[in-house]
Amino acid sequence: MEVHSPKIIEQIPRDDWEKTPASVKKMVELMAQRIETLEKQAIELVEAQQQLVEKVNKTSKKSSSPPSSDPPGFSHK
């Protein structure tokens, strides 16, 4: 299985990277990949959270939706 080298590894000077033991290189590559994955997931979660907040804050007073679409417990005073 070939390991994809994340962009962050490109920031390491070539001489330093070449002197790095293979086991350390593999660990750095795996951690960099994990960071990339977590960053993508964080972006997706923030987007989903924003959509949910917008949905929760949408009431019949703030949109063209009928009052029956308001969340439970919403007061029409």
pLDDT tens by residue, 6-51: 788 889 999 999 999 999 999 999 999 999 999 999 999 999 999 9
User: 35-51 b/e with 16+ CB inside 10 Å = b?
Assistant: eeeeeeeeeeeeeeeee
Question: Distance between CA atoms of 69 and 63, rounded to whole angstroms?
Answer: 10
- Is residue 2 very low, low, confident or very high in pLDDT (cuts 50, 70, 90)? very low
The pLDDT value recorded for residue 45 is 98
Report the C-alpha gap between 67 and 76 in whole angstroms.
Answer: 8
Token match 């907040």: residue? 53
Statement: residue 1 has pLDDT above 50:
no
Cα–Cα distance, 15 to 67 (Å, whole number):
67
